[in-house]
Amino acid sequence: MDSVDLEVLKSSVRWLDEGHRALLVTVVKTWGSSPRPEGAMLVVRDDGLVVGSVSGGCIEDDLIDRVRREGIGIDKPEAVKYGITAEEAHRFGLPCGGTIQLALEPLSEASGIRTLLDTVERGELVARTLDMATGVATLGPASATDGVYFDDAQLLTIHGPRYRMLVIGAGQLSRYLCQIAVGLDYHVTVCDPREEYTDTWAVPGTTLVRTMPDDTVLDMKLDERCAVIALTHDPKLDDLALMEALKTRAFYVGALGSRRNNAARRERLKEFDLSDAELARLHGPVGIYIGSRTPPEIAVSILAEVTAAKNGVSLPTLLQVEGAKAAREIAAGAGSTCDV
């Protein structure tokens, strides 16, 4: 789930504990263009204070104004639509032709928001089913591929870490990369059997394992919502992870290194009986070309490429490190092979 939506749950619990009433608003359906996906949430406190987002801002303004004028005037959940006409789409700041349907839920003990928050903070993926007639919500098991379901009688939403990331290596670059990845809502596992690195690892929100990388990949049972990034520069560790990860359905598998090292790595991996199609899935040199030099900049470069892959965006060759550097060399008439 989105980190913004996690803040919505935290604020909801805190405001209820403080004695406020609160209205939870969830995007349940969209038609045409929409700035926020189905399942996005915000919560409005009884004095109009708001956390979260369901649109570009104007729908939030309308909800806040309604609560300030009328209070939270409903006792049971109800559904509302915005942007049905062209005039409403313009008024509420929706893209042309966009329509959005929201579930408005006055929070109470029956909502089970505290239990939901506790479950999410334990790193569990959970489905929440809201009975629109009674306001009673129940929790159950969920799959990472499940989506929002709404049929006017029930609303089912998925909460928790949908995407996982396995990082091989607990060095300095991994620290910066993992900090950002946690902010992007990945459930991050860092694998490094080297004590000299793991003994000083201290990145909140990550899980550290000291097992061998190939065993870790197998244990994690990677699926299409997983990314694997090898950052040690040590073939004895990186190659072990890659040879297993490339056989899985992970949406992204990448490794740090120069173009020369990447070519050598591909030759080594052929010895593990990987097919050409499996080798073609390897991102390397990892990241997009932004002229990055420092560990934080390199982390941004890598996660930009991961984000593009996650969102199904195919990057042009000139944005990829290998293509961009080759183009620069041709333009400059130089033969530099230095990569970062």
Q: What is the pLDDT of residue 304?
A: 95
Largest CA distance in the chain: 72
pLDDT tens sequence across 64-116:
999 999 999 899 999 999 875 556 555 655 555 568 899 999 999 999 999 99
Q: What is the pLDDT of residue 183?
A: 87
Per-chain mean pLDDT for the chain: 88
Q: What is the pLDDT of residue 338?
A: 43
Q: Which domains, ranges and CATH numbers included, belong to the chain?
A: 3-159 (no CATH), 163-332 (3.40.50.720)
pLDDT tens sequence across 115-169:
999 998 887 889 999 999 999 999 999 987 788 999 999 999 999 877 899 999 9
Q: What is the pLDDT of residue 224?
A: 87
Q: How far apart are CA 200 and CA 198, in angstroms?
A: 5
Q: What is the pLDDT of residue 77?
A: 97
Q: What is the pLDDT of residue 85?
A: 55
Judge whether 270 and 279 are in contact, CB under 8 Å: yes
- Assign residue 281 a region: left if phi > 0, alpha if psi is -120 to 50, beta otherwise? alpha
pLDDT tens sequence across 10-57:
999 999 999 999 999 999 998 766 667 889 999 999 999 999 988 867
Residue 171 has pLDDT above 60, yes or no: yes
139: Cβ–Cβ under 8 A, 6 or more apart, which residues?
A: 112, 115, 116, 119, 126, 127, 128, 129
pLDDT tens sequence across 258-293:
888 988 999 999 888 888 999 999 998 899 988 888
Rounded to an integer, the average pLDDT of 298-303 is 96
Q: What is the pLDDT of residue 337?
A: 46
